[in-house]
Chains A and B, each alone.
Chain A
Amino acid sequence: MATSQWWASESFWRKTAIWVTGGSFVALIFLTMDTIPQISSGSKRVPAYSVINHRIEYKFDEKRHVQVPVIGAKEPLFGKELNEEEAEALVKLGKLTTQAKNCMNCHTLLGNGAYYAPDLTKSWLDQYWGTKEVREVQMVEFIKDPSDKLHNSVGRRMPKLEITDEEARGVVAFLKWMSSIDTNGFPYNFKSIEQEN
Chain B
Amino acid sequence: MATLGQLDSANLNGGQKLAVKYFTVAIVLFGAQVLFGLLSGLQYLYPDFLYGVLDFSVNRMVHINALVVWLLYGFLGSVYWLLEEESQHEVVGLKLGNLIYWVLTSAVTVVVLVYLFVQIGPGKESTIWLINEGREYIEAPRWADIGIVVSVLVVFYNVAATFSQGRYTGIAGVLVLDMLALFGIYLAGMFYTTNISIDQYWWWWVIHLWVEATWEVMVACIMAYGLMKVLGVSRKIVETWLYIEVALMFGSGILGLGHHYFWIGTPEYWFSIGGFFSALEPIPLVAMVVHAVFDAGARHAKNSNHPAMAWLIAHAFGNFFGAGVWGFMHTLPQINLYTHGTQWSASHGHLAFFGAYATIIIAMFYLGVQRWRSGVWMSGDLPGNGWKWKWALGLLNLGMVGMTVSMLVSGYVQSQIERAIEGSTWMGYFAAQIHPWFAQGMWWREVFGVMFLIGFVLLVWDLLTIGKGESRAMQPAVSEN
Contacts and interface: CB of A to CB of B under 8 A. Distances in A.
B121 A35 contact: no
Contacts of A103: 57, 134
B60 interface: yes
Given A92-B194, A119-B429, A105 B246 contact: no
Interface in B17-51: 40, 43-44, 47-48, 51
Contacts of A101: 120, 123, 134
B123 A93 contact: yes
Contacts of B382: none
A100 B267 contact: no
B243 interface: yes
B255 A27 contact: yes
Contacts of A96: 123-125, 127-128, 192, 194
Contacts of A115: 341-343, 345-346, 414
A105 B60 contact: yes
A28 B429 contact: no
Interface residues of A, number: 90
B196 A178 contact: yes
A104 B134 contact: yes
A92 B122 CA distance: 13
A102 B123 contact: no
A33 to B, nearest CB: 12
Contacts of A116: 40, 43-44, 56-57, 60
A188 B60 contact: no
Interface string B296-332: 0000000000000000000000000000000000000
B424 A25 contact: no
A156 B236 CA distance: 57
B433 interface: yes
A61 B254 CA distance: 32
B467 to A, nearest CB: 34
Contact of B197 (A46, A93, A162): A46
B430 A35 contact: no
Given A10-B236, A17-B246, A102-B134, A24 B263 contact: no
Interface in A143-157: 147, 151-157
Nearest to B59: A105
A108 B341 contact: yes
A116 B43 CA distance: 9
Contact of A46 (B43, B195, B343, B433): B195
Interface in A42-73: 45-46, 49
Contacts, number: 267
Contact of A157 (B51, B194, B263): B51
B423 A191 contact: yes
Nearest to B333: A184
A188 B420 CA distance: 7
Contacts of A109: 196
A172 interface: no
A187 B423 contact: yes
B384 interface: no
B146 to A, nearest CB: 18
A151 B430 CA distance: 9
Contact of A95 (B194, B247, B258, B429): B194
A141 B246 CA distance: 53
A97 B170 contact: no
Interface of B: 40, 43-44, 47-48, 51-52, 55-58, 60-61, 119-125, 127-128, 131-136, 139, 170, 174, 192, 194-198, 200-201, 203, 236-237, 239-240, 243-244, 246-247, 250-251, 254-255, 257-258, 261-268, 270-271, 273, 337-338, 340-343, 345-346, 414, 419-430, 433-434, 481
Given A31-B255, A110-B196, A167-B122, 13 more contacts: A28-B255, A39-B267, A100-B131, A117-B429, A159-B55, A160-B52, A163-B123, A181-B196, A186-B337, A187-B424, A188-B424, A189-B423, A191-B428
27 contacts: A10-B236, A21-B254, A24-B254, A28-B254, A31-B258, A32-B201, A38-B266, A93-B123, A96-B123, A96-B125, A100-B134, A103-B57, A105-B57, A105-B61, A106-B60, A108-B341, A111-B264, A114-B57, A118-B430, A119-B424, A123-B426, A151-B430, A186-B262, A186-B263, A188-B419, A188-B423, A191-B422
